[in-house]
Amino acid sequence: MDLSRGVVAVVARGIGDQEAGISRDTLLPRDPLAVILLGPTGSGKTALSLALAERFDGEVVSCDSVAVYRGMEVGTAKPRREERARVPHHLIDVAEPDEPFTAGAYSRQARVALNEIAARRHLPIVTGGTGLYLRALTEGLFTGPERREELRERLRRSAARHGAAWLHGLVRRLDAATASRIHANDTQKLIRAIEVCLTARSPLSTLLTTEGRNRLTGFRLLRIGLSPPRAALYERLNRRCAEMFAAGLVEETRGLLARFGPAKALDALGYRQARAVLDGALSVDEASEAAQQGHRNYAKRQMTWFRREPEVHWIEGFGDETQALQEAEALIAAAGEETRR
């Protein structure tokens, strides 16, 4: 075969494309589309993700820090088994409640899932409300120096004696830029900031700039956010919490404690209040009311977090409403057309 003919043909075709106003970038294949469906708890993300996955041959990648745990069913509002049977789901029931499952672990496994889904020419639909997990997936995490448990324990003792404000003051002296981004009562983040500064002998804010993060590449991200009316959302959350306790949340928690002990996962909303019932600190009605308030507060924090996400197409409504589905379908269809150009 005369390869020179092929080269000449390619060059000639390239010249013709330029004359026609077609750029080289236009001719290159576009990255596959991935949808990120975000919003506060109770906003109907599950219903919308199922409808979109069925409409666009998609697979759902859960982004929920509690849904990863096996055996935690009643208090998580994770998709029911019959819902998971409708379309493939990922990152649900992948760890035991007493196994640590960090944002970094989530990011690694979710990225594998996204690439496998794209390889099958299906649409990845990342769905959930855990903002840190989502940020780890899309922006990557700063790894930094290894943990120093002895230093951490000394800092915890100091915080217990002097209060979290003492830790914040120490961070402010070591790294004022980082201190301005951390709440004075966020002991965990303050300790990590001090640990990084002392171990790396450099401010955390400097390291974040110089070392950067391992951002997600290879996908065009379409962010769709659900923003239902607050009063209606709170009403749904109140009803859902009451239904969880009626469906046996206290009994499920009792069984999980017997198997795994007081695992960190069982400090999640709903389970924390169910444990208070088992400890005799609250009645079932009091626990239900406390869980309702906790979920309302959590929804408010989620919206504050997600409002900082870039390029979100906000839909004013619940995900199980026809109008929301139509708007989301239109956004995905338009993004798909852009991918095929």
pLDDT at 29: 59
Domain with CATH 3.40.50.300 in the chain: 33-141+214-340
* Model confidence pLDDT, tens digit, residues 98-127: 998 989 899 999 999 999 999 999 999 999
pTM of the model: 0.78
Could you give the residue ranges of the DSSP H alpha helices within the chain? 3-19, 24-27, 45-56, 81-84, 103-119, 131-139, 149-162, 164-174, 176-179, 187-200, 204-211, 230-246, 249-260, 271-278, 284-306, 322-340
pLDDT at 341: 61
Place of tokens 């929301």: 324
**Cα–Cα distance for residue pair 296/3, rounded to 1 Å:** 67
pLDDT at 39: 97
* Model confidence pLDDT, tens digit, residues 230-242: 999 999 999 999 9
**Cα–Cα distance for residue pair 127/334, rounded to 1 Å:** 20
DSSP helix/strand/coil, 131? helix
Q: Please state the rounded mean pLDDT for residues 126-146.
A: 89
**CATH code of the region 33-141+214-340:** 3.40.50.300
Pick from 71, 143, 139: which is nearest to 102 by CA? 143
pLDDT at 146: 79
Average pLDDT, the chain: 89
**pLDDT higher than 60, residue 12:** no
**Residue 126 forms beta bridges with which residues?**
36, 61
pLDDT at 340: 62
For 11, phi then psi, to 5°, come to -60, -45
Question: Tokens standing for 277?
Answer: 């019932």
pLDDT at 188: 85
Q: pLDDT exceeding 90 applies to what percent of the chain?
A: 74
pLDDT band per the 50, 70, 90 thresholds, residue 16: very low
Query: Looking at 14-28, 86-100, 233-247, which range is the least confident one?
Result: 14-28
Place of tokens 């500064």: 197
Q: Please state the rounded mean pLDDT for residues 199-219.
A: 84
Which of the listed CATH numbers 1.10.730.10, 1.10.20.140, 1.10.3470.10, 2.60.40.10 matches domain 149-211? 1.10.20.140
Residues ≥6 apart with Cβ < 8 Å to 302: 39, 40, 41, 129, 131
Query: Looking at 72-81, 143-152, 267-276, 308-317, which range is the least confident one?
Result: 143-152
pLDDT at 18: 44
**pLDDT higher than 50, residue 23:** no
Query: Looking at 9-13, 94-98, 189-193, which range is the least confident one?
Result: 9-13
Domain with CATH 1.10.20.140 in the chain: 149-211
Measured from the Cβ of residue 137, the count of other Cβ atoms closer than 10 Å reads 29
pLDDT at 212: 61
Q: Please state the rounded mean pLDDT for residues 2-6.
A: 33
**Cα–Cα distance for residue pair 114/218, rounded to 1 Å:** 10
**Cα–Cα distance for residue pair 303/331, rounded to 1 Å:** 21
**Cα–Cα distance for residue pair 274/42, rounded to 1 Å:** 20
Q: Please state the rounded mean pLDDT for residues 18-36.
A: 62
pLDDT at 11: 31
pLDDT at 337: 77
**pLDDT higher than 90, residue 15:** no
**pLDDT higher than 60, residue 332:** yes
Question: Tokens standing for 86?
Answer: 């409708």
pLDDT band per the 50, 70, 90 thresholds, residue 207: confident
**pLDDT higher than 80, residue 13:** no
